[in-house]
């Protein structure tokens, strides 16, 4: 849990700009009963959220019921890639809800066919199968299972090791946290499965040696033989720091996985659907993984996740594929916003190309500079994903922003 915000309303400077408006004390006195009730009824895991009680949202802006308006730099925690309140999505949801058919798991449907067809059509070979699930963590669990099934079939029970990266975040369930690379998040597990191993992520600053030799060295330090690896999984970019691996490293990793018959898994739950300035994050590396996991921006609204891949193996859930409600909205969204106009996804707001090395979002560029050489403060990232590196007190910048109409998470 991050540090909690005070619920004592304080006077803050009035803000009235084109996109931001702060006209009350903060937190807003009338919002305190809502915040207190949530504190009383929800677990501690839900604390630490900025005390902005959202009432409505549009595009990149969110408003409360008392006249304040923020720029939503959280992007709904990296979900609203197409913006809040996108007309096509709203219309599709309303239209489908009106049909009153909100569930049909055991039976096929035309809408589901349209959805998987649209997704499969967007993915490069060999990502030819699409499986719809319900949370990002579930796609990760599914990938772990498929890697292990693949490994054991290919090389017997020894070939079960899942290699992932230090500092990685893959979700909050048992398997996804073991694949994650943040030790504090898995203390609760106690008896960690030794078949999950993390190696340094080649970000070039926390791990200065970002050559592929570092991957092989780390495996041998863990006493892992390449032939025992069932799969290698990474966040296409590390969400916690908006850090990418070098393309050369990823191309070597792709070759290594093929050579050792291990599945390469890109967790695109954050990186997919245009978040990085390309439709898929792995395009930055010039590779295609064996499995790609999608979430968040896939729907820009309701929960919907998918796994695209070439590997098969049994996995299911009560809600798997049961996304008629979503699929309807999503098919329309996919048609309209990706519609899929790659050139729109790959352009900066001011029309410049994402990869031309400029500082990304223009709003970000106004308040931050390029990443300084020591990388302890400043911005990093590309497309629609950036991280403020604050140095010193993590969270101080975020806390000071929220009272000034910029809602960061």
Ligand X SMILES: Cc1ncc(COP(=O)(O)O)c(C=O)c1O
Which of 171, 281, 321, 360 is in the footprint of ligand X by CB under 6 A? Answer: 171
Gap between the Cα atoms of 30 and 66, Å rounded: 8
Secondary structure (3-state) at 335? helix
All residues at 6 or more sequence positions from 279 whose CB lies less than 8 Å from its CB, including other chains? 122, 272, 273, 338, 340, 342, 345, 346
Q: How far is the CB of 41 from ligand X (least distance, A)?
A: 21
Cβ distance to ligand X smaller for residue 159 or 170: 170
Which of 137, 178, 276, 300 is in the footprint of ligand X by CB under 6 A? Answer: 137
Q: How far is the CB of 234 from ligand X (least distance, A)?
A: 9
Q: How far is the CB of 318 from ligand X (least distance, A)?
A: 16
179 binds ligand X (CB under 6 A): no
Q: How far is the CB of 7 from ligand X (least distance, A)?
A: 26
Piece of the chain touching ligand X by CB under 6 A; list 51-59, 129-137, 154-162, 395-403: 129-137
Going by C-alpha positions, the residue among 304, 303, 268, 306 that lies closest to residue 287 is 268
Measured from the Cβ of residue 57, the count of other Cβ atoms closer than 10 Å reads 17
Gap between the Cα atoms of 335 and 338, Å rounded: 6
For ligand X, the nearest residue by Cβ is 136
Piece of the chain touching ligand X by CB under 6 A; list 106-114, 166-174, 378-386, 399-407: 166-174
Going by C-alpha positions, the residue among 395, 367, 305 that lies closest to residue 1 is 395
135 binds ligand X (CB under 6 A): yes
Gap between the Cα atoms of 157 and 175, Å rounded: 18
Which of 76, 83, 136, 403 is in the footprint of ligand X by CB under 6 A? Answer: 136
Looking at residues 236 to 255 of the shown chain, list those that interact with ligand X (rule: CB under 6 A).
239
Cβ distance to ligand X smaller for residue 28 or 264: 264
**For the chain, percent helix, then strand, then coil, each to nearest 5?**
35, 20, 45
Piece of the chain touching ligand X by CB under 6 A; list 52-60, 120-128, 136-144, 218-226: 136-144
**Angle at CA of residue 207, ends 201 and 209, nearest 5°:** 105
Query: Please, what's the largest Cα pairwise distance for the chain?
Result: 66
Cβ distance to ligand X smaller for residue 28 or 279: 279
Which of 61, 207, 270, 380 is in the footprint of ligand X by CB under 6 A? Answer: 270
Q: How far is the CB of 178 from ligand X (least distance, A)?
A: 13
CB 70 within 8 A of CB 52: yes
Looking at residues 315 to 374 of the shown chain, list those that interact with ligand X (rule: CB under 6 A).
none
200 binds ligand X (CB under 6 A): no
Q: How far is the CB of 133 from ligand X (least distance, A)?
A: 9
Piece of the chain touching ligand X by CB under 6 A; list 103-111, 132-140, 207-215, 326-334: 132-140
What do you get for the CA distance between the two ends of the chain, in Å? 12
Tokens of 331: 């098919």
Q: How far is the CB of 170 from ligand X (least distance, A)?
A: 5
Q: How far is the CB of 305 from ligand X (least distance, A)?
A: 7
Cβ distance to ligand X smaller for residue 72 or 235: 235
Tokens of 117: 């067809």
Piece of the chain touching ligand X by CB under 6 A; list 38-46, 145-153, 188-196, 266-274: 266-274
Gap between the Cα atoms of 120 and 308, Å rounded: 8
Which of 141, 235, 290, 324 is in the footprint of ligand X by CB under 6 A? Answer: 235
- DSSP type of residue 322: -
267 binds ligand X (CB under 6 A): yes
Binding string, residues 281-300; x marks residues near ligand X by CB under 6 A: --------------x-----
CB 168 within 8 A of CB 235: yes
Helix and strand totals (H; E) in the chain = 12, 17
| Main-chain dihedrals φ then ψ at residue 376, nearest 5 degrees | -90, -20
Per CB under 6 A, residues contacting ligand X are 135-137, 140, 169-171, 235, 239, 267, 269-270, 295
């Amino acid at each position: 849990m991050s540090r909690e915000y005070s619920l004592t309303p304080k006077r803050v400077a009035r803000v009235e700009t084109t996109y931001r408006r702060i006209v009350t004390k903060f937190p807003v006195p009338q919002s305190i009963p809502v915040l207190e009730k949530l504190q009383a009824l929800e677990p501690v895991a839900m604390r630490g959220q900025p005390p902005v009680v959202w009432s409505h949202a549009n595009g990149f802006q969110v408003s409360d019921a008392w006249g304040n308006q923020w720029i939503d730099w959280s992007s709904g925690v990296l979900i609203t890639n197409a913006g809040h309140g996108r007309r096509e999505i709203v219309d599709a949801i309303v239209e489908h809800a009106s049909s009153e058919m909100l569930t049909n798991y055991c039976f096929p449907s035309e809408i589901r066919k349209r959805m998987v067809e649209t997704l499969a059509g967007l993915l490069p070979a060999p990502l030819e199968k699409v499986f719809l699930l319900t949370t990002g963590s579930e796609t990760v669990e599914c990938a772990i299972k498929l890697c292990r099934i693949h490994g054991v079939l290919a090389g017997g029970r020894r070939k079960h090791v899942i290699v992932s990266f230090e500092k990685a975040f893959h979700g909050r369930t048992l398997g996804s946290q073991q694949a994650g690379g943040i030790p504090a998040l898995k203390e609760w597990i106690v008896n960690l499965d030794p078949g999950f191993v993390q190696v340094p992520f080649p970000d070039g600053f926390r791990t200065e040696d970002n050559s592929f030799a570092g991957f092989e060295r780390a495996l041998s330090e863990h006493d892992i033989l390449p032939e025992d690896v069932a799969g290698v999984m990474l966040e296409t970019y590390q969400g916690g720091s908006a850090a990418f691996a070098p393309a050369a490293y990823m191309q070597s990793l792709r070759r290594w996985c093929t050579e050792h018959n291990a599945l390469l898994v890109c967790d695109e739950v954050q990186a997919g659907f245009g978040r990085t300035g390309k439709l898929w994050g792995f395009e930055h590396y010039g590779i295609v993984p064996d499995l790609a996991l999608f979430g968040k921006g896939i729907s820009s609204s309701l929960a919907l996740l998918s796994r695209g891949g070439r590997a098969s193996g049994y996995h299911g859930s009560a809600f798997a594929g049961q996304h008629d409600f979503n699929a309807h909205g999503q098919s329309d969204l996919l048609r309209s916003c990706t519609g899929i106009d790659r050139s729109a996804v790959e352009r900066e707001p001011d029309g410049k190309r994402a990869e031309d090395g400029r500082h990304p979002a223009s709003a970000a560029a106004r308040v931050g500079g390029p990443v300084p050489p020591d990388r302890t403060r400043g911005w990093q990232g590309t497309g629609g994903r950036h991280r403020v590196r604050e140095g010193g007190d993590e969270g101080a910048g975020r806390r000071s922003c929220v009272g000034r109409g910029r809602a960061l998470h």
